[in-house]
Amino acid sequence: MNALLTLKEVSKKYGNRDVLTDVSLTINRGDCIMLRGNNGSGKSTMLRIVSGLIPISSGERLLQHSNLVIGYTPDRLSKLRMTSTEYLTHMGRISDIPKKNLNNRIRELHEFFSLEPSHTLNMTHFSKGMLQKTNLMQAMIKTPDILVLDEPFSGLDKESIAHLLNSLKKIKSQGTSILAAVHDPLLASQLESRTYWIKQGRIWMDNTQNFSDQSTVFFELEGLVEQETLERLSGLFSDVTWKTCDSGHLLFTIMQKDYRDFLLEFIHKGGEINNLTRKELKP
Amino acid sequence: MTALLSFIHTCFMRSYRYGPPTFVFILGILFVYSVVPNPVMASYAFSTIFLFIVSAVISYTLIDIETVNQESVTLLHSGSLLKLYMSKLLYSWLFSIPLALYAILYPAIFHKFDRNPSLEELGMSFIYHITATWLGVALACWFSSKFIRSRVISFLMLSVLIVITLSVQGIKDQLPDALKSVIVLFPPLNSIINVMVDYESTSLFSKLWVAGASLLYGTMIAVLFLLMLHKRKLDSSH
């Protein structure tokens, strides 16, 4: 078996609610897979199943071998009252890494992610970018076979995103497989990945994606809309994704084909636009 | 497991959540012994009950010391949910041992009793303190947010369980004879307290048996808790 990890017709239920239904996915060495979908579509549940954090209701989760190293970065790392070095030392020791190797590895990771190792600055005072770097560092403390990332770019500024993208490209080139839940199609395209959509608990591959030969335009709309309208919009425009921002606003990602109709419907139903940005994926 | 204990220790110390139960216990003991003289074993019986409550609160606080995200990360690094939670239970118990030593040694050293306690009394009282502590830790872990999401409800339920544990003798007296054997299902803290109060007239076997029974009861419910967790993994945190 060449696949590092295989999900075979995996379903996950919480009570009577089906979160994932008959999901199959194969992760081979060096793969880069992006998961897209709306809030509550089951992306995080799938990542947690792949990581082995939660049990599945039915189906199979097969690993290539029992010593497979899976690095997992949650969407937000807790701001603990310790420095990044202290934190990584704890995580490394818990992973049974010998002390001497661990110190070198922590130094290496700080250099790799361009984070200054401080002996005084606790994670409680870290910016989102610094915290996300520490999050990735803990996941890579033992070189992982598969790196599972939950919304790795969420809330980061442009500079941090660019740096993180660059780091992920390097990690990928070293042979680590990446599985990430992302919201932004631009970021999904930058990592030369294959994209899967999760909608209503089912997964399918995005065959329409072709970023390599032409530029693709999409729009990001930040605004407010009532729940009932949100459900209507989600039903009408299946390719439009949305998530809730820290500010409480909703952030919609709209491909150009849906742009006009979506905006008309949004405004017609009383939606309030806070910000509208045009973005372009260049080949 | 040492690495996990060390991480839990750092998180617990830097969260300062140990403060309220620890200081209430330290000040409580100082207050209780501010009046002298006191009977030896009856006083130790009181501090055993006090430490049982404090250890339950410490275990209740510590079992959810990590956020859901951090717990996922720690679990993947340690490779075993059982190892992680065994470490949390063990740490809660170890944390209470200095408090048990304080409860035993402070009144003995500062002559707060009506007579000097014998070495046997000191040793057995220490054993009773740490077995009651284990009972408190094992009972409180069930009120983790893994099983009961609302912290208010879980705290109220834990409080009720502590009250029931302390009232087992009264409940037994109220029960009809046919149902009296049901009492064996309740946490056996009252057996320890009864032995401590009647220490002089109790046989050596009974003195040791009550400590063993509490340890066994605590271990059984802790193992049951770990088995439940092993089955559910981190499901409830979704």
Q: What is the DSSP letter of B167?
A: T
Do residue A74 and residue B75 have CB atoms under 8 angstroms apart?
A: no
Query: In the predicted model, is pLDDT for residue A205 greater than 60?
Result: yes
Report, as an integer, the average pLDDT of A226-234.
85
Domain shared by A107 and A243, yes or no: no
Residue A79, in any domain of the structure: yes
- Same-domain pairing of A199 and A74: yes
> CA-to-CA distance for B109 and B117, rounded, in angstroms?
10
Q: Is A71 on the interface with B (CB under 8 A)?
A: yes
Is residue A131 in a domain? Answer: yes
According to the model, what pLDDT value does residue B238 have?
40
Task: Report how far apart, in Å, the C-alpha atoms of A133 and of each of A127, A197, B187 are.
Answer: 10, 26, 47
For A20-29, A71-80, A189-198, B88-97, which range has the lowest pLDDT when averaged over its residues?
A: A189-198
Residue range A52-66: mean pLDDT, rounded = 89
Rounded alpha-carbon distances, angstroms, from residue A25 to A132, A179, A192:
26, 11, 18
Residue B237: predicted pLDDT: 42
Residue type present at position A188 = A
- Model confidence over A138-184: pLDDT tens digits? 999 998 999 999 988 877 777 778 888 888 888 888 888 999 988 77
Shared domain for A32 and A116, answered yes or no, is yes
Query: How far does CA A87 lie from the centroid of its chain?
Result: 22
This model of the complex carries an ipTM of 0.86
CB atoms under 10 Å from CB of B44, counted, come to 27
With respect to residue A164, please indicate whether it lies within any of the assigned structural domains.
yes
The pLDDT of residue A102 is 92
What 3-state class would DSSP assign to B39? Answer: coil
Q: How confident is the model at residue A229 (pLDDT cuts 50, 70, 90)?
A: confident
**Which of these three, A205, A226, A255, is where a domain ends?**
A205
Strands A32-36 and A250-255: unpaired
Cβ–Cβ below 8 Å for A80 and B7: no
Nearest-by-Cβ selection for B235 from A55, A72, A139: A55
Residue A22: give the domain boundaries: 5-205
Q: Which CATH number covers residue A236?
A: 3.30.70.1150
d(CA A136, CA A157): 17
B contacts of A76 (beta carbons < 8 Å): 69
Whole-angstrom distance, CA of residue A213 vs CA of residue A115: 36
pLDDT in tens, chain B (238 residues): 899 999 999 999 999 999 999 999 999 999 999 998 989 999 999 999 999 999 999 999 999 999 989 999 999 999 889 999 999 999 999 999 999 999 999 999 999 998 999 999 999 999 999 999 999 999 999 998 888 888 899 999 999 999 999 988 888 888 888 888 888 889 999 999 999 999 888 888 999 999 999 999 999 999 999 998 888 777 754 4
Shortest distance between the Cα of A93 and any Cα of chain B, in A, equals 6
Range in A48-62, A64-78, A244-258, B150-164 with the lowest mean pLDDT: A244-258
Which of A158, A241, A197 is CA-nearest to residue A20? Answer: A197
Here the tokens at position A126 are 């870290």
Q: Are A73 and A19 in contact (CB under 8 A)?
A: no
Count of Cβ atoms closer than 10 Å to residue A42 Cβ: 24
Q: Do B14 and A78 touch (CB under 8 A)?
A: no
Report the pLDDT averaged over residues A34-39.
Answer: 84
- Distance (Å) from the C-alpha of residue A249 to the closest C-alpha of chain B? 23
pLDDT of residue B32: 93
Task: Among A145, A175, A205, give the residue marking a domain's end.
Answer: A205
Query: How far does the CA of residue A91 sit from the closest CA of chain B (Å)?
Result: 7
* pLDDT tens per residue across span B39-96: 999 999 999 999 999 999 999 999 999 998 999 999 999 988 999 999 999 999 999 9
Judge whether A63 lies within some domain: yes
d(CA A159, CA B20): 43
Confidence of residue A209 (pLDDT cuts 50, 70, 90): low
Give the per-residue pLDDT at A49: 92
Domains in chain A: how many in total? Answer: 2
CATH of the domain at A178: 3.40.50.300
Q: Are residues A77 and A191 in the same domain?
A: yes
Q: Which of B14, B68, B69 sits opposite A81 (nearest CB)?
A: B14
- CA B94 centroid distance within chain: 11
The candidate with the shortest Cα–Cα distance to A61, out of A72, A50, A48, is A50
B70-79 burial string, b = 16+ CB within 10 Å, else e?
A: bbbbbbbbbe
Beta strands in chain A (DSSP E): 5-14, 17-27, 32-36, 58-63, 70-73, 146-150, 177-181, 194-199, 202-205, 216-224, 241-244, 250-255, 272-281
Q: What is the mean pLDDT of chain A?
A: 85
- Distance (Å, rounded) from C-alpha A281 to C-alpha B37? 83
Tokens at residue B107, please? Answer: 């009144």
Residues A240, A200 share a domain: no
Rounded to whole angstroms, the Cα distance separating A218 from A82 reads 41
Q: Are residues A132 and A268 in the same domain?
A: no
- Where are the strands (E) in A67-193, listed by range? 70-73, 146-150, 177-181
Residue A281's pLDDT is 63
> Would you say residue A51 lies in a domain?
yes
Residue A210 belongs to a domain: no
Query: Are residues B67 and A71, on separate chains, in Cβ contact within 8 Å?
Result: no
Compute the C-alpha angle A50/A27/A34, nearest 5°.
Answer: 80
Closest CB from A51, A55, A90 relative to B6: A90
Is a pLDDT exceeding 70 seen at residue A211?
Answer: no
Residue A195 near residue A206 (C-beta atoms within 8 A): yes
| Mean pLDDT rounded to a whole number for chain B | 91
Residues 6+ apart with CB under 8 A from A192: A32
Tell me, yes or no, whether A184 and A241 share the same domain. Answer: no
Helical spans, DSSP H, in A156-255: 158-173, 185-190, 227-236
Closest to B17 in 3D by CA, of B70, B61, B64: B61
Q: How far apart are CA B192 and CA B207, in angstroms?
A: 8
Where among A155, A182, A205 does a domain terminate?
Answer: A205
On the 0-12 / 13-18 / 19+ scale of CB atoms within 10 A, B179 is: exposed
> Which residues from chain A sit within 8 angstroms of residue B77, using beta carbons?
91, 94-95, 138, 141
CB contact under 8 A, A72 and B73: yes
Sequence ranges of the domains in chain B: 2-237
Alpha carbons B30 and A132: distance in angstroms, whole number: 47
**Is the peptide bond between A74 and the residue preceding it cis, with omega within 30 degrees of 0?**
no
Q: Render pLDDT for A64-109 as a digit per residue (tens, 0 to 9).
A: 888 899 999 998 888 899 999 999 999 999 999 998 899 999 998 8
